[in-house]
Amino acid sequence: MKLLIVAGIILLAGAFVGELVIKDPGYVLLSYQSTTVETSIWGLAIVVLVTFFIFHLAVRLLQYILERRRKIGDWNEKRTRVRANRRTLKGLLAMSTGDWVKAQRMLVSAADKAETPLINYLAAARAAHEQGLPDAADRFLKQAHNAMPKAEAAIGLTKAQIQMSRGQLEPCVATLKRLRGIAPRHTLVLKMLKQAYLQQQDWQSLADLVPYLHKHDVFSKIQLKKLEQQAYMGLMNKSLDKLPVEADEQTRLKTLNKTWKSLPGELSHDSALADSYAKLLIDNDAPEKAEAFLRDNLKHNWDDSLIKRYGQIAGNNPAKQLKFAESWLDEHPDNATLHLTLGRLSMLNAQWQKARDYFQRSLALEKSQEAYGELARLLRHLEDAEGCQKLMEESFGSTEESLPKLPLPAGNS
């Protein structure tokens, strides 16, 4: 129906135009230099319409060709990208299985066309490093930077990990310090700095880093405490190692004391550090200073490790030392470590029976191999064969309880 209506309208319009053409065809003269063209106005109109129609078709055809070309280009690009992503995935899978040669080949070949060239180059750098190809690894790191200059943190971390693995600690620390300036709260950067300082035994830098590790919750409180203890123990030992071999006792003690006083105030009563300091005093022929230090420290910080260390000091006045230690029994009568220490101090005073009683009391409170060893040694020198044999059986029975249940040969039990 619509087609008939349109056809009718066209026929009417044609009849109307035809009537106009018959009545007055009009006249048009076009002249340019020596060339003239004469036609009717309706003829010119037809030429214009035909020309416009041809031009319109040409434009539409050109648009169609360009659109098809664009779609073909997009299709090719998408196909290339898909293939590159597949090769990237194969490269990453090869890395997970340790096939470094294949991983590097796949990742590098797909890097230029992949959606994430940064990941390709960083992974390729790791693969090259695992193959022992330092030049290739460095080259891929540079290409990663060229692919995405703003990803300095990711590139720097990969570089630092490779440097640390190579044992290039100084360049590694330099890289990590630069990254820390860019991202001061980056947990992995702080963890790697800690590890690098430990490997370098740079105890001062490690001690300076601990507050930042605490501030950003990089490790647990227990881990941070152990790390802090390790740093300051290392500082105390290193302060003595720096001294020349010919340094006299006074110089060594002065240096050690200076290092101890440089510790933060809250660490002055840390048991592990105090024990380490006392041991260094003993090792450097200053038992009296170690005894006085421990005696003062134990007033504020009762700790079994310090009590045990106190019993290992052979000072100039062992009788006074024993008497002072015995005063602790009023507040700690059931402390096995204290009785072990009192037994050792009694031996320093040649009070054999008292030493025997203290060792036996320590074992009654807690079965420890140290107490067994001290009492056995004492009984052997007292020529108490029966007591020594009984003690050995008791010690073996105590040890046997901790052994796993295993089948044994038949015989006398």
Could you read off the pLDDT of 368-378 as tens digits, one per residue?
A: 889 988 988 89
Read off the pTM. 0.71
Of the two residues 32 and 356, the one the predictor is more confident about is 356
Whether residue 238 has pLDDT greater than 70: yes
Q: Which pLDDT belongs to residue 69? A: 81
Residue 402 has pLDDT above 70, yes or no: no
Say if residue 122's pLDDT is above 90: yes
Min mean pLDDT across 68-72, 217-221, 321-325 is at 68-72
User: Within 13 A of 116's CA, how many CA atoms are on the CB side?
Assistant: 12
Q: What's the Rg (C-alpha) of the chain?
A: 46
Q: How high is the pLDDT of residue 401?
A: 65
**pLDDT value of position 42:** 66
Which residues, other chains included, contact 205 with Cβ-Cβ below 8 Å and sequence gap of 6+?
A: 197
Tell me the per-residue pLDDT of 168-209, one tens digit each, with 9 for 90 and over: 999 999 999 999 998 888 999 999 999 999 999 999 999 999
Residue environment code for 120-156, b if the CB has 16+ CB neighbours within 10 A, otherwise e: bbbbbbbbbbbeebeebbebbbebbbebbeeeeeebb
pLDDT, average across residues 130-145? 93
Residue 411 pLDDT greater than 60, yes or no: no
